[in-house]
Amino acid sequence: MTRIVLAFMLAFTFQMATADVLIIDEVRQAGRMELPKNGQSKADVESRFGVPKQKNAAVGDPPISNWKYDRYSVYFEYDLVLFTVLHPGEVIEK
């Protein structure tokens, strides 16, 4: 019984460690990519990065909307960028 518990704990620990590495890789990759920056307006983002594949309407108060591009999504509060997020699996260098 204890062997099963130990094996499960080791497997779970290994899964957590690999997830941490992937998140770190994504953060590093995002730092090297040219992405919309916090505080840019929607007009600035569209003129610099092009028309997004999808524009989702704002929800909530304050209104939060997002635009989806091929490799990332941009989240806005009113007209300004809150943050940009890479889509899963968009890490180029590992």
What is the DSSP secondary structure assignment for residue 70, as one 8-state letter?
A: S
pLDDT of 89 reads 72
Kindly state whether residue 60 falls inside one of the protein's structural domains: yes
Q: Does residue 94 fall inside a structural domain?
A: no
Q: Looking at the predicted structure, is the pLDDT value of residue 90 above 50? A: yes
User: Does residue 71 lie within any of the structural domains?
Assistant: yes
The percentage of residues in the chain with a pLDDT greater than 70, rounded to a whole number, is 61
Range of the domain at 15: 2-86
Classify residue 12: in a domain, yes or no. Answer: yes
Six token digits for residue 43: 């007009």
In a domain? residue 74: yes
* pLDDT value for 17: 47
pTM for the model stands at 0.66
CATH number at residue 40: 3.30.1450
Tell me how far apart the alpha carbons of residues 54 and 56 are, in angstroms, rounded to a whole number.
6
Tens digit of pLDDT for each residue in 19-47?
555 555 556 655 667 889 999 999 999 99
Count of structural domains within the chain: 1
- The kind and range of the H/E element at 11 are helix 2-32
Tokens read off for 49: 């990065």
